[in-house]
Amino acid sequence: MKYMMFVCSDPEPETDDSRVPDIEVWVAENDAAGRRVTGNVLAPPSAATTVRVRGGQTMLTDGPFTETKEVIVGFDILECADLDEAIAVAAAHPMAHAGRIELRPYADL
């Protein structure tokens, strides 16, 4: 089952960074196991463009759609057997300590 893993900042990160795993090790292990399909770091919110269509007109806004303390800083697409495996993969990600991870399964349309 595929999961979108949103990697987010957090205004209340783990204070003991000695337990934070290395991101390069996390990527290498999950790539090798076939659990990570792709992923990347995102540019800051200031580089965002919000696109809306209203009345047939395309409207663009520079910057993020909403103001928030938590920001999506990256993403990974996971291929896992089930939610339990996806949770284990997410919990091992460094940003589970320094930020927040949100998992969403792909919709079965």
Which residue ranges make up each domain of the chain? Answer: 2-105
Classify 69 as helix, strand or coil: coil
68-91 as b/e, with b when 16 or more CB fall inside 10 Å?
A: eeeebbbbbebbbeeeeebeebbe
Reported as a single tens digit per residue, the pLDDT across 26-80 is 999 999 999 999 999 999 888 988 889 999 999 998 876 666 677 899 999 999 9
Burial 38-51 (b: 16+ CB within 10 A, else e): ebeeeeebeeeeee
**Fold exhibited by the domain 2-105:** Alpha-Beta Plaits (3.30.70)
Q: Tokens 């540019």 identify what position?
A: 43
What pTM, to 2 d.p., does this model score? 0.86
